[in-house]
Amino acid sequence: MRSLSCFFASLLMLWGCSNQTNNIVETRQQNKPFVNPENWPLHTSPLKRDALVESRISDLLAKMTLEEKVGQVIQADINYITPEQAAEYHLGSILNGGNSGPGNDNHASAERWLALADEFWKASIDTKNGRTGVPIMWGTDAVHGNSNVVGATLFPHNIGLGATNDPQLLHKIGQITALETRVTGLDWTFAPTLAVARNDRWGRTYESYSEDPNLVASYTPHIVSGLQGDLHHSTFLDHSRIIATAKHFVGDGATEEGIDQGDVLIDEEVMRDLHAAGYVPAIQSGVQVVMASFNSWNGAKMHGSKVMLSDILVGRLGFDGFVVGDWNGHAQVKGCSKVSCAQAFNAGLDMFMAPDSWKGLYKNLLKQVKSGVVSQQRLDEAVARILRVKLRAGVFDAGLPSNRPMAGEFELLGHQEHRAVAREAVRKSLVLLKNNNQLLPLRPNINVLVTGEGANNIAQQAGGWTLTWQGNNNNPEHFPNAQSIFQGIQQVVSEAGGHAELSQDSSFNVRPDVAIVVFGEQPYAEFQGDLQHLDYVSNNGLRLLKRFKQQNIPTVAVFLSGRPLWVNPEINQSDAFVAAWLPGSEGGGIADLMFTDAAGKARFDFTGRLSFSWPAKPSDDVLNEGNTIYSPLFPIGYGLSLQDNAALGPLSEDINGEIEHVTRFVYAGDPVVPWRMMLKDRYSQTQVTSKMQTNANGTLTAVATDDKAQEDTVMLTWTGDATLAIEGKPIDLTQQVVGDMTFQIVYKVIQSSSAKSNLILGCGEGCSVSMDISSSLQAAAGKGWQTAQVKLSCFAASGANLGAVQTPFSISSSRGLILQLKEVKVVSNPSAANCTL
């Protein structure tokens, strides 16, 4: 793995290739540092400006009206705009967010994607009434294949690719992703992610190739050139390639406590040498778009940082494409809102990603240019950058999407040759952490039991950013060109005369020679995957492994996850343990390494090596090679081969003092694992498992709703008697009571109810305490976001058993109440807390 670190030394320059970046001390920066652009390497763009292209840009700028120019710098989501509106407002781009599809259908057919691309294209080039008719671009999150489209090839997520130690494989994956995206008429992907994830609690860790900046930098040219074509070859941005986006600039993998979109407190050297390591190689490979990051750096949001977006990215690093924002990311800049942010535009953001706020943003930006808040020169600069990318990529001359080469060749989605590359990627990504008594590889002509929640679950093995944003609400029929892990094992075993049995609960008809248990994280994306610690909290896999251990049945654990997690109990109960990451559509790649051929010879070896350090304790969230204290269970670069005969002894399962009580119950509108959000009425209860859920009798509906970010709150509407409850296993909050701590609730009352509303804490059978909050909700109606603190001691004083809290938060109400909920957690008493909301 280390041999890759110096591969692109000529491109990295000040980034260095002597592993210096691994030895940087990541000290927490308390005060805002002075950022000096001259401390950053000076590069020129590898792209030569074409005189004909520049002349055409000048002609277009002279011809376009102010309204057309303003439209060019705004990107709207297809769920919030029609082709006719895109034409009326002259929008330069559209996107499909993680939960957007043609007709608001995440499982729309490829034909419908292409048809909608045609509609937007035809509307955008309409020159009636003197319109210039600049063609529109469509951006999509094709982040592990064309992963929004049913039937597309799904590659392992980046964390798995980081373990392959194969940059050339990244090039092939980029090519296939581009080709399958072209089939549906789209021309732009929001990939690759160049984050260097340094805190594994972060919900986007699986989008990072590695904690090692040198590995990230070495992969970057290959994935960029795979997507866009080789900069020095005729394939560059030809009809088989798509526009790539290097994201998120910069520091997204460095936030405090791994909080997505949070603050980064590091000095300039660390930001430059570690977290920006992938950007020079991307720019030198001709990447056309850079996406600004949600995060702040010492309190200043990247979307509004002129020094980073203009002085450094363009002025020093030589970037010559355009900068696009992230999902309403401009709204997080101080003094801005979703519909107004001249600050971000003046800082160097060339295109606003304004999925649902595009119309208001358009109107305000138009006013700001007319008033001089945004100069005509700055507007022309941004529009020119966007036009330049469109012209380089052939967007103007490509014609109707359905008439372009490869468009409509739907047989290319999930093509066997593409799936073979994905299967190769799975094989190379698997990391063997334990193989006592060299249990693996197995002979295929045996009785094999396959069990666990992930055994026959393509949605789980594919993870987030798969058909839907969170990777949820996907069923087997949504993966026509895919193979589950069980299906892959069954094929290999049956062909050799063996028997493979699928079991949901560890029961079996024929005693197995070996049990393969597939378990791990459920799909998630972005901040909804943020963790408080690295303990794998589910006991589903452990329970199965223990049952087989008690029956003296050898076990192989296959762990599906988007990051390294503390799984010492599961490793101890396994004879062999495989880190399989999020392998995508090709579960058969796991069987390739598990089993020998008919003659007993290994068909493939385990070559995957950890690109992230594996935690020895649940608190090892910041565990990176080069840290002053570095004591992983398995270090970066670790991984067994089949010939290794190294027995792994019992690992410590003691976590006393390692994990604090789970004291965050709702975050970004979602229950924090392991808590569940329940909608209850008198006769039934319904768990919230989708972005819109209604209880059985229709009296309470929960809808994931945007505030500062995509679906970062939940909107709760009562149409009758019902209760919202956050439930889980009992926890002990007595120490928090002794410490005079409080419940902190962040909420907004959209509409109050005349009915009685209660805040309830449940502490087991027959144990609950309720607090009348009717007047508080009525007083807060229409007054925006509220942050309330309620003392835990109030519930204790009313008789609640705080030693066994099963329902830490619950609200009962009736018709009329509409409540928007963002967060519920336990915090220190801010002195203003009392016994009312």
Residues identified as active-site: 326, 526
- What is the C-alpha separation between 249 and 262, in angstroms, rounded? 14
CA distance 438 to 578: 13
Tell me if 360 sits within 8 A of 340, measured CB to CB: yes
C-alpha to C-alpha distance for 594 and 141, rounded to whole angstroms = 32
Report the run of H or E that residue 762 belongs to, with start and end: strand 758-762
In the structure encoding, which two tokens stand for residue 281, read together? 């190689």
d(CA 63, CA 171): 40
Nearest residue to 454 (alpha-carbon basis) of 551, 523, 548, 524: 523
Which residues neighbour 111 within 8 Å (Cβ) at sequence distance 6 or greater?
A: 408, 410
Single-letter code of the amino acid located at 728: G
Q: Which residues pair with 760 in a beta bridge?
A: 770, 810
Cα–Cα distance measured from residue 204 to residue 562, given in angstroms and rounded to the nearest whole number: 8
Contact 277, 251 (CB under 8 A): no
Contact 537, 508 (CB under 8 A): no
CA gap 148, 107 in Å, rounded:
8
Q: What is the CA radius of gyration of the chain?
A: 27
Degrees, nearest 5: CA angle 236-237-238: 90
3-state secondary structure 189-249: ECCCECCCCCCCCCCCHHHCCCCCHHHHHHHHHHHHHHHHCCCCCCCCCCCCCCECEEEEE
Two structure tokens written together for 684: 């039934």
**Phi and psi of 113, rounded to 5°?**
-60, -45
Residue 463 has a CB neighbour count (10 Å cut-off) of 32
The residues near 621 (Cβ < 8 Å, ≥ 6 apart) are 199, 200, 201, 257, 258, 531, 533, 534, 615
How far is the C-alpha of 455 from the C-alpha of 440, rounded, in Å? 18
Q: Please, which residues have CB within 8 angstroms of residue 309's CB and are 6 or more apart in sequence?
A: 249, 292, 302, 323, 347, 348, 349
Q: From the centroid of its chain, how far is CA 618?
A: 22
- Secondary structure letter of residue 96 according to DSSP: E
DSSP 300-366: EEGGG-HIIIIIITTTTT---SEEE--TTGGGGSTT-BTTB-HHHHHHT--BEE-TTTHHHHHHHHH
Residue ranges of alpha helices (H) inside 630-743 are 734-738
Say how far apart CA 385 and CA 320 lie, in whole Å.
8
| Dihedral class, residue 626 (left if φ above 0, else alpha if ψ from -120 to 50, else beta) | left
Strand pairing partners for 435?
576
